[in-house]
Chains A and B, each alone.
Chain A
Amino acid sequence: MKNRKLFAAAAVVLVLIAVFAGVWFAARPATSEGAKTITVEVVHRDARSKTFTYHTDKEYLGEVLQAEGLVKGEPGDYGLYITEVDGESAVFETDGAYWSFYQGGEYANQSVDQTPINDGDAFSLVYTVG
């Protein structure tokens, strides 16, 4: 009896996993293949701004930024946690500083390694405190 309940619970969990995966699959942003040109604006701590232009056939932004050496980071709970951009580190533990990430001027709700790129996309990485 107990085992039957456990197996029923396990089946429910498997169904939940399938539902969650289905929701993600249906709603995930599309990637595009082929050559693309994107820009990444970096706003440093002293408000100095630099814009980088990349030509790439990669599908996700994180791959481009890491391959070009623009960002460094570590795996976080929800994707790459950026610790350094264009040679400048943001240490949250010291003063609450972090690199915030914008896509098309809007605050992005996913990490750079989860962000698909399309030709002409514009991104920003902004040194932010607090």
Chain B
Amino acid sequence: MEMPSPWYTRLDKRRLTLAETVLFGILGGMTFLAKILMAGLPNIEPVSLLVMLFAVTFGRKALYPIYVYVLLEFVLYGVNLWSINYLYIWLILAAAARLLRGMTHPLGWALLSGVFGLFFGLLCAPLYGFTGGWAFAVSWWISGIPYDLAHCAGNFLLALALFGPLRKLLNRLYQGIVRR
């Protein structure tokens, strides 16, 4: 019977190595750069795809590249009301991806990413309920539905095409770093 590892070794596993620190910094920066480069494409963003990839590859450590990206957003665009959305919204997707990490079919990942795009406005709306009232939040969400539908389609297609190959690539890269 396998003995559970003592708490200090579990903590140690969560500590970042130098290589991991560098990797997560680069991936967070690349996420930000990819978003800027794709900003011209209407409602097609790479962040959802990358957050899912980080969650299935790095587990809890996915929080590092995700929040490096969020921090870069805050540094470049400033801290505003919408910034609060960015503090929790990616966590929801990362948690869902982590729960579904055993899923292998690209269609499943495309559906998850598509649903996240579809619900993006709805997940952001509660914040506007606190600041502008619930009627404003509902009206804000409804007026943005056409964009959420486009976001859903963009996320679906991007994940369908790229999740599988990028997962293999990132996994190979990370295993290489962990083994060193």
B77 near A24 with CB under 8 A, answer no
Name the residue on A nearest B142 (C-beta): A27
Question: Considering the chains assembled together, what is the distance between the CA atoms of A109 and B40 in angstroms?
Answer: 23
Question: Considering the chains assembled together, what is the distance between the CA atoms of A13 and B136 in angstroms?
Answer: 26
Question: Considering the chains assembled together, what is the distance between the CA atoms of A92 and B151 in angstroms?
Answer: 24
Q: Which of B43, B139, B149 contacts A17 (CB 8 A)?
A: B149
A16 near B115 with CB under 8 A, answer yes
Instruction: Give how many B residues have a beta carbon under 8 Å from the other chain's beta carbons.
Output: 30
B143 near A6 with CB under 8 A, answer no
Which of B63-71, B105-113, B165-173 is the interface stretch? B105-113
A77 near B147 with CB under 8 A, answer yes
Does A2 count as interface, using CB distance less than 8 angstroms?
Answer: yes
Min CB gap A82→B, angstroms:
16
B111 near A13 with CB under 8 A, answer yes
Question: Considering the chains assembled together, what is the distance between the CA atoms of A20 and B147 in angstroms?
Answer: 11
Chain B residues in 8 Å Cβ range of A23: 142, 145
Chain B residues in 8 Å Cβ range of A110: 140, 143-144
Question: Considering the chains assembled together, what is the distance between the CA atoms of A17 and B132 in angstroms?
Answer: 27
What secondary structure prevails in chain B residues at the interface with A?
A: helix
Instruction: Give how many A residues have a beta carbon under 8 Å from the other chain's beta carbons.
Output: 25
B42 near A75 with CB under 8 A, answer yes
Chain A residues in 8 Å Cβ range of B145: 20-21, 23-24
Question: Considering the chains assembled together, what is the distance between the CA atoms of A8 and B71 in angstroms?
Answer: 38
A92 near B105 with CB under 8 A, answer no
A79 near B111 with CB under 8 A, answer no
Question: Considering the chains assembled together, what is the distance between the CA atoms of A22 and B140 in angstroms?
Answer: 16
Also in contact, A10 and B111, with CB within 8 A (given A77-B147, A109-B140): yes
A21 near B136 with CB under 8 A, answer no
A93 near B111 with CB under 8 A, answer no
Chain B residues in 8 Å Cβ range of A114: 143, 146
Chain A residues in 8 Å Cβ range of B76: 93
Chain B residues in 8 Å Cβ range of A9: 108, 111
Chain A residues in 8 Å Cβ range of B152: 17
B118 near A16 with CB under 8 A, answer yes
B77 near A92 with CB under 8 A, answer yes
Name the residue on A nearest B107 (C-beta): A6
Chain B residues in 8 Å Cβ range of A34: none
Also in contact, A109 and B143, with CB within 8 A (given A17-B152, A92-B77): yes
- Extra A-B contacts (12), CB below 8 Å, given A20-B149, A77-B147, A78-B121: A3-B105, A10-B107, A10-B111, A20-B145, A20-B148, A21-B145, A24-B145, A27-B142, A28-B143, A77-B151, A79-B147, A110-B140
Binding site for A on B (CB under 8 A): 40, 42-43, 76-78, 80, 105, 107-108, 111, 114-115, 118, 121, 128, 132, 136, 139-140, 142-149, 151-152
Binding site for B on A (CB under 8 A): 2-3, 6, 9-10, 13, 16-17, 20-21, 23-24, 27-28, 75, 77-79, 92-93, 96, 107, 109-110, 114
